[in-house]
Structure 1
Amino acid sequence: MLLCADQSFYGGFTDDVAKRVATHNAGKGAKYTRSRRPVQLLYSEEFTTKSAALKAEYAFKHQPRRAKEKFLTAHQIVWK
């Protein structure tokens, strides 16, 4: 989970988190993050299969912001 400069959240999947964050911050990542740089990594999680990662990404993206904030609070992640 990334925190964008406009305080929005962005979720995705990759097999190299550090490289992907750098790509987003270079303006070569997702269209969503290009105009919301810099981004900051808030949370990452490993999955055993690509399918499991994609399912988690889909579930994350379809939650309201309040649910995402509750998740961060439960994991003691400060984003404000």
Structure 2
Amino acid sequence: MKLSFVYILKCSDDSYYTGITSNLTERIFKHNSGKYKKSYTYNRRPVELVYYAEFTNINVAIQTEKQIKKWSRAKKEALINNEFDKLPNLAKKKFMS
């Protein structure tokens, strides 16, 4: 069974990068070594792995990565900090009355 990983990196400029890979160790190394000069993380090195999840189904992993990329910073930080109870409320939009 081949594993896939969805991961979140904290960049040197304090931003977050979300990605997907089948080899987490190698991928983090590539981010930090600057292998891809046009990548988001190239000018934001060093990066630090702050979250990852394992998946046995690549389609679920891809879906999860796309979902997390749309999340707010606060929601990503709740996930990173294992504050799962906060996730539903952070998903709600606040409307002005």
> TM-score with structure 1 length normalisation?
0.86
Sequence identity (%) = 39
Residue 43 (structure 1) shift:
1.1
Q: Pairwise CA RMSD of aligned residues?
A: 1.4
Q: Determine helix, strand or coil for the equivalent of 2:20.
A: coil
Q: 2:20 corresponds to which letter in structure 1?
A: F
Structure 1 unmatched ranges of 5 or more: 76-80
> TM-score with structure 2 length normalisation?
0.72
Structure 2 unmatched ranges of 5 or more: 1-7, 85-97
Equivalent residues in 2 for 1:6-17, closer than 5 Å: 6-17=13-24
Larger Rg: 2
Tell me the equivalent position of 1:36: 44
The range that moved more, 60-69 or 26-35, is 26-35
Tell me the equivalent position of 1:62: 70
Higher strand share: 2
Tell me the equivalent position of 2:57: 49
> Is 1:21 paired with 2:21?
no
Q: Aligned residues, how many? A: 75
Residue 66 (structure 1) shift:
1.1
Residue 31 (structure 1) shift:
1.0
Moved over 2 A (4+): none
